């Protein structure tokens, strides 16, 4: 029984979060939504979520209302294709027939209000050129126009005849019906839907942590149980107030700091403070390189500037730091070190144009592993005046060979630890802020154990990965080693960046 209950609960939560995500459209005037329903009695077999738009909304597309049927699957043991759409029990009705019956009823009741039916699922299309997915446009997830004109002897034509015969309708009705379906397959796993909801809530100035998401799912669940009907903008505003889901404005706005060592660019948030360090790096005026002009500037000039800035920021009420800018990884490590978690700061970085990640996210199941540990010095650690060890962290790509070449040229390195993600390297290894937070937790634990095992007083830290990993890890470097030297890739070779003292 438990094996059946857990997937059902996850599927319900998936639907509830999807419903909440659509309800949030009410707060966006550009969407011109009048009300939203969950378990819509007018929705027939496409009733999970309905978005009703104001008549005459002058929307970008030709449809007034959106009806969603959500199919969550606990695993990826199958995928959607013609067989799934036509499958039915004896004397039963297929999924396609259910959609068609709903469409025809809605068309009769709302002849002047075209509707778009959505099939939403985490399952993907069957990967075949002979199945229906091959005739779905990647731009809008709807059937391509050419599907309706293909000759009956072609593969696409044979599919069309099979579908139309199954429904028992003429060419005109079949084309109108099929053009009114959006196949939103591969819509994302439960975690991805949760992250999408959190991002929309963040953009709307709402709380979006784990507790808030649980509350939102519960709101939709209760709305269904109590059969409350339409969710309007006014009702949604009341719900947000009742459940205290609005972000404190001071905390929402935060303090924006631009950190620049490479190239200046425009961001959506205007800065409260700017650290423009380009003059300290070699390179052309509009794009600086990896190499700092004077190695001592890391600790003698740049770190004091960071500490002075933190002194100013600490006098303000907000502890949310919205960090933006194009900067070297050493600079991001130093930034995180100064605006540390221990000091109560939360840092938001812009990992890419559409991904803004915060360091207070709940950790995911992302994990790091030890790929290699190498003894570089055979002497007794207690006999050395200072024991130095190194750690190479690979995320985007493998830096092991580069690090080994570098430390061979440095005397006194006792041992080297190499970490990498459990599920492999790549530019998109970090999928969410939750992954980065889990990466920090996992890496810190293994590095601390490594340092303790070798009784080291100094750690040389090498990192190849996204800026979010450098910044968030920098926030958590306390309680690892008394001194950490962040090594900066010079392309080629490495040179010391910040020396962080604890």
Contact 461, 403 (CB under 8 A): no
pLDDT of the residue at 8: 46
Pairwise CA distance, residues 499 & 459, whole Å:
10
Instruction: Report the first-to-last Cα separation within the chain, whole angstroms.
Output: 53
pLDDT (tens digit, 9 = 90+) per residue, 86-107?
Answer: 999 888 999 999 999 999 999 9
Asked if the model's pLDDT at residue 419 lies above 70, the reply is yes
The DSSP line for 92-157 is ---HHHHHHHHHHHHHHH-TTS-EEEEEEESS-B-S-TTSGGGGB-TTTSSB-GGGGTS-TTSHHH
> What pLDDT was estimated at residue 5?
34
Token representation of residue 480: 């690892």
Give the number of other Cβ atoms within 10 Å of residue 477's Cβ: 24
**For residue 484, which of 391, 405, 393 has the smallest C-alpha distance?**
391
429 neighbors 395 (Cβ within 8 angstroms): yes
Residue 433 or 5, more confident: 433
pLDDT single digits (tens) 134-186: 999 988 899 999 999 999 889 999 999 999 999 999 999 999 999 999 999 99
Separation in Å, CA 346 to CA 220, 298, 442: 30, 24, 19
Residue 355's pLDDT band (boundaries 50, 70, 90)? confident
Contact 490, 291 (CB under 8 A): yes
Q: What is the pLDDT of residue 184?
A: 93
**Which carries the bigger pLDDT value, residue 335 or residue 11?**
335
Instruction: Compute how many other C-beta atoms are within 10 angstroms of the C-beta atom of residue 139.
Output: 7
Chain centroid offset of residue 365 CA? 14
Mean pLDDT of the chain: 89
**Mean pLDDT across the stretch 17-34?**
90
Query: CB neighbours of 424 closer than 8 A, spacing ≥ 6?
Result: none
Packing angle between helix 95-109 and helix 171-178, nearest 10 degrees?
A: 100
**Range in 70-74, 262-266, 398-402 with the lowest mean pLDDT:** 262-266
Q: Is 57 or 368 the better-scoring residue by pLDDT? A: 368
What percentage of the chain carries pLDDT values higher than 70? 93
As a 3-state breakdown, the chain gives helix, strand, coil percent values, each rounded to 5, of 40, 25, 35
Q: For residues 430 and 203, which has the higher predicted lDDT (pLDDT)?
A: 430
The stretch 361-386 carries a mean pLDDT of 78
How many other C-beta atoms can be found within 10 angstroms of the C-beta atom of residue 55? 11
Share above pLDDT 90 across residues of the chain, in percent, rounded to a whole number: 66
* Domains with residue ranges and CATH for the chain: 2-242 (no CATH), 250-358 (no CATH), 368-501 (3.40.50)
Contacting residues for 461 by C-beta, under 8 A, at least 6 apart: 333, 390, 391, 393, 484, 485, 486, 487
Which of residues 337 and 502 earns the better pLDDT score?
A: 337
Q: Are 439 and 363 in contact (CB under 8 A)?
A: no
DSSP code of 299? I
């Amino acid at each position: 029984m438990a094996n059946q209950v857990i997937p059902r609960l996850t599927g319900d939560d998936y639907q509830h979060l999807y419903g909440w995500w659509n309800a949030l459209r009410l707060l966006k005037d550009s969407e011109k939504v009048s009300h939203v329903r969950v378990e819509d009695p007018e929705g027939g077999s496409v009733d999970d979520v309905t978005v009703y738009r104001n008549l005459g909304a002058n929307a970008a597309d030709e449809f007034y209302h959106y009806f969603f049927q959500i199919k969550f699957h606990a695993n990826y043991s199958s995928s959607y294709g013609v067989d799934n759409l036509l499958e039915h029990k004896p004397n039963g009705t297929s999924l396609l027939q259910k959609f068609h019956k709903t469409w025809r009823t809605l068309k009769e009741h709302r002849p002047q209000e075209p509707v778009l039916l959505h099939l939403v699922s985490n399952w993907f299309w069957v990967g075949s050129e002979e199945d229906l997915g091959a005739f779905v446009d990647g731009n809008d997830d709807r059937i391509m126009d050419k599907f309706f004109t293909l000759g009956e002897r072609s593969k696409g034509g044979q599919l069309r005849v099979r579908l139309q015969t199954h429904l028992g309708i003429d060419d005109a009705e079949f084309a109108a019906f099929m053009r009114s379906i959006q196949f939103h397959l591969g819509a994302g796993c439960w975690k991805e839907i949760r992250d999408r909801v959190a991002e929309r809530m963040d953009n709307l100035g709402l709380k979006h942590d784990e507790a808030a998401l649980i509350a939102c799912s519960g709101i939709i669940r209760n709305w269904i149980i109590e059969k409350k009907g339409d969710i309007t903008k006014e009702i949604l505003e009341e719900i947000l107030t009742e459940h205290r889901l609005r972000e404190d404005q001071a905390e929402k706005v935060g303090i924006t700091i631009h950190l620049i060592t490479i190239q200046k660019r425009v961001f959506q948030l205007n800065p409260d403070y700017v650290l423009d360090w380009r003059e300290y790096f070699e390179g052309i005026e509009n794009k600086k390189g990896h190499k700092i002009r004077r190695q001592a500037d890391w600790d003698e000039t740049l770190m004091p500037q960071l500490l002075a800035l933190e002194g100013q920021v600490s006098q303000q009420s907000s502890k949310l730091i919205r960090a933006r800018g194009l900067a070297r990884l050493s600079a991001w490590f130093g930034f995180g070190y100064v605006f540390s978690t221990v000091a109560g700061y939360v840092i938001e970085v812009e990992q890419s144009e559409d991904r803004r990640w915060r360091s207070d996210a709940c950790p995911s199941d992302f994990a790091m592993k030890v790929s290699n540990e190498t003894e570089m010095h055979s002497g007794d650690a207690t006999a050395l005046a200072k024991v130095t060890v190194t750690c190479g962290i690979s995320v985007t790509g493998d830096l092991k060979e580069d690090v080994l070449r570098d430390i061979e040229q440095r005397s006194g390195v006792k041992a080297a630890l190499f970490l990498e993600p459990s599920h492999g390297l790549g530019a998109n290894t970090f999928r969410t802020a939750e992954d980065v937070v889990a990466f920090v937790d996992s890496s810190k634990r293994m590095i601390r154990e490594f340092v303790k095992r070798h009784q080291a007083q100094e750690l040389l830290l090498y990192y190849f990965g996204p800026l979010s990993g450098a910044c968030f890890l920098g926030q958590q470097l306390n309680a690892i080693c008394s001194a950490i030297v962040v090594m900066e890739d010079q392309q080629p070779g490495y040179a010391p960046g910040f020396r962080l003292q604890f």
